Amino acid sequence: MIKTAGANVSAAEVENAIAKVTGAEAHVVGIPDVERGELVAAVVVQPDLDESALRERLKTVLSAYKIPKRFITLGRTEIPLLSSGKVDTQQLRKLFDA
């Protein structure tokens, strides 16, 4: 659960919404923010992502506070994985620091 400005955001809900409007795989994490506690951030597996268009489409399926504030695009093979094959969310968070 991501806590942003006192509200709880389900990463799975945002991932599903991104998949619904783009057909792309997405991984959503919370990244630290001084003012809001955490920001909603998404790593999207789609090389030609138009962030502003995606934000507009997400407005039709998500509340404004659930729409990611930051996006990164990666290729499927660039998604960091744990030895178990699951997505390494700690490494995803570090991508937003760079």
Contact 18, 29 (CB under 8 A): no
Average pLDDT, the chain: 95
What is the residue extent of each domain of the chain? 2-95
Residue 81 has pLDDT above 80, yes or no: yes
Predicted local distance difference test score (pLDDT) of residue 47: 84
Q: In this predicted model, what pLDDT tens digit does every residue of 47-79 receive, in sequence order?
A: 888 999 999 999 999 999 999 999 999 999 999
Architecture of domain 2-95: 2-Layer Sandwich (3.30)
Is residue 95 within 8 A of residue 88, CB to CB? The reply is no
In contact, 46 and 22? CB cutoff 8 Å: yes
